[in-house]
Amino acid sequence: MLAGRYWIVGRFRLDARDELRSRLSLSAASNSDAELCLLAYAKWGESFTDFLAGDFAFILWDDVAQCLLGVRDQMGVQPLFHSRTADAWIVGDSLDWLAGQVPTSDVLDDYWIADFLVLGVAREFERTVYRDIKRLAPAHVLKLGGGGLSLRPYWRLDIPEPIYLHGAQAYHERFRELLSRAVADRLPAGRVGIAMSGGLDSTTLAATAVQVTGDPSRIVAECEHYERLMHIREDHYASLAARHIGIELRIRAADDIAYDPQWRARELRSPEPMTALINAHDIQRVAREMAEAAPVWLDGEGPDNALLLERDAYLGWLRRQRSWRRLAQALIEYSTAKGIAGWVRTIGRHTGLQREAELEPFDTLPPWLRRDFAERLALPERQKSLGTGGDMSHPWHPASIGSFTSPIWQCHFDVHAFEGTLGGFEWRYPYLDLRVLEFMLSVPPIPWGWNKRLIRGAMRGRLPAEVLARRKTPLDCYPEVATIREVGLPVLPEGHRLARYIDPQFLPDLGASDPDLAMSLNAHALDHWLACQCQ
């Protein structure tokens, strides 16, 4: 409460606190993040969201104005939901709680379910599995007052032009500086964990955390690798990095925790259907061990999407801008960055002599989806018009911007939140710090998007040469599907609740492709969730 007028409740973790305190003319550093939000509102009114960044979802009541504001962070890390009953508006951060308050919560949203069955995630931010409960979209404000409910965005991911700095070293220093700030803002008081593969992004986080804390003993890393299902040597590269930066590393074989054959019999459930339940029993055990090691774990997702080499889009934009000098420079930099090995791979792909392993996208409707259900919702047209829900209109970075404006990230946050709840720890995302993210998206895709050249250059000397030289290594297979092929295919139980959505006789068998089998798990997850709702 502030001045007997403002009240606030929610989840708060702010970035750039010192900068915000300076703007608020505060000398002490004792204010909590919730108090800083209240003070910002008291000073700037509803435009206070322009000065906030971090991971948050909160509700603020202004007693004089007699209005309630619900605010969600820019990337949507923390959730917020709302619904209306016959006599009240309900707002909260727990979907399960809201479902218990809404009389019509047994009415499901067919569009959400269709998207989940086909894609594993909704294509629209606002939808939930319940028709009458809506999710507040990221970077939005909900306002309830005398005029009823209104929704408005307060921020959008806007990268108008690339940032051109003088020399590679300037890019490297700027990246390290921003990532250090992001990591520092996310550190707990004690130990911090890093989910560390043998790849570049997570090892960079670990090295940065050591540099920020100055104490390697505060950092613990966990590497999950596959000994039987695939051989991509994550443990080898993670061990090299851990020894180089002097941190504790826990290596865990993940072959037997990718899929739990008894998952239907477990008592675990999730607020919405999610395929994460197929190994949640084992993940709960792992998560509890992680929580004992550290209360906060850092996730390394972000650079794969932000540092895409969107060559054609960028060169086309330079041409349309008639920026001939930069166009010529980009062509030279592209040829140089690619090098002999890169050109050999390109020639191999175009001549059919070399094929790069990649997982097929879920870009078609599965044959087991009921035709009348798909036609009633116009699913082919929906899939064509919405794609994965992101904004692909950016002139020179369409795929990257489209990625970060897609609800697919919501699924990532929801699954991680579920895992954290199982174990009792919190995930944080340094690469999604707006300072870091906007910089990665602003650097010219050529040359910095080539094989994530920005990070490799910035970490030269800070990580082992073998880790820096490692190419992006995609998974050889879907781990859960590989296990299913060993233990057998799940069978829908008698009396399943999916008749209006799918035709089970067309569900794939063990001879189907990995993507088809993986997609069919969405149907099993939905049926299990529906069964739990009836208990």
Beta-carbon contacts of 25 under 8 Å, excluding residues fewer than 6 positions away, are none
DSSP 429-484: -GGGSHHHHHHHHHS-HHHHTGGGHHHHHHTBTTB-HHHHHPPP---SS-HHHHHH
**Alpha-carbon gap, residue 248 to 251, rounded angstroms:** 10
Q: Which residue bears the tokens 């999604």?
A: 432
Domains 6-97+132-153 and 168-307+367-481 agree in fold: no
The token pair at 39 is 């003070």
Beta-carbon contacts of 345 under 8 Å, excluding residues fewer than 6 positions away, are 354, 356
CATH code of the region 168-307+367-481: 3.40.50.620
pLDDT averaged over consecutive 10-residue blocks of the chain (535 residues)?
87 96 88 95 96 98 95 98 93 96 93 95 96 97 92 96 96 98 97 96 98 97 91 92 97 92 92 95 96 97 95 96 95 78 45 42 77 94 91 95 94 94 96 98 96 96 95 80 88 84 91 90 94 82
Length of the chain: 535
Beta-carbon contacts of 267 under 8 Å, excluding residues fewer than 6 positions away, are none
**Alpha-carbon gap, residue 38 to 56, rounded angstroms:** 13
Domain boundaries, the chain: 6-97+132-153, 168-307+367-481
**pLDDT for residue 228:** 86
**pLDDT for residue 133:** 97
Q: What's the pLDDT tens digit per position in 123-148? A: 999 999 999 999 999 999 999 998 88
Name the nearest CA neighbour of 510 among 490, 482, 485.
485
**Alpha-carbon gap, residue 284 to 287, rounded angstroms:** 5
Dihedral (CA of 106, 109, 115, 118) sign: positive
**pLDDT for residue 475:** 72
**Alpha-carbon gap, residue 177 to 167, rounded angstroms:** 16
CB atoms within 10 A of CB 147: 8
Report phi then psi at 188, rounded to 5: -80, 180
**Alpha-carbon gap, residue 110 to 286, rounded angstroms:** 34
At residue 451's C-alpha, the angle toward residues 448 and 456, to 5°, is 70
Architecture of domain 6-97+132-153: 4-Layer Sandwich (3.60)
Beta-carbon contacts of 300 under 8 Å, excluding residues fewer than 6 positions away, are 194, 195, 196, 197, 199, 201, 202, 204, 205, 431
**Alpha-carbon gap, residue 322 to 38, rounded angstroms:** 48
Which helix (H) or strand (E) segment holds residue 199: the answer is none
**pLDDT for residue 471:** 85
Name the nearest CA neighbour of 399 among 390, 389, 387.
390
SS3 call for 506: helix
